[in-house]
Chains A and B, each alone.
Chain A
Amino acid sequence: LAKTTQPISMDSYEGQEVNITCSHNNIATNDYITWYQQFPSQGPRFIIQGYKTKVTNEVASLFIPADRKSSTLSLPRVSLSDTAVYYCLVGDLPYGGATNKLIFGTGTLLAVQP
Chain B
Amino acid sequence: NAGVMQNPRHLVRRRGQEARLRCSPMKGHSHVYWYRQLPEEGLKFMVYLQKENIIDESGMPKERFSAEFPKEGPSILRIQQVVRGDSAAYFCASSTTGEPQHFGDGTRLSIL
Contact = CB atoms under 8 A, between A and B. Distances in A.
Nearest to B48: A101
B93 interface: yes
Contacts, number: 65
Contacts of A107: 42
Interface residues of A, number: 21
Interface residues of B, number: 30
Nearest to B30: A98
B101 A102 contact: yes
Contacts of A94: 98
Nearest to B91: A43
Contact of A44 (B59, B96, B103): B103
Interface of A: 34, 41-46, 49, 87, 94, 96-99, 101-107
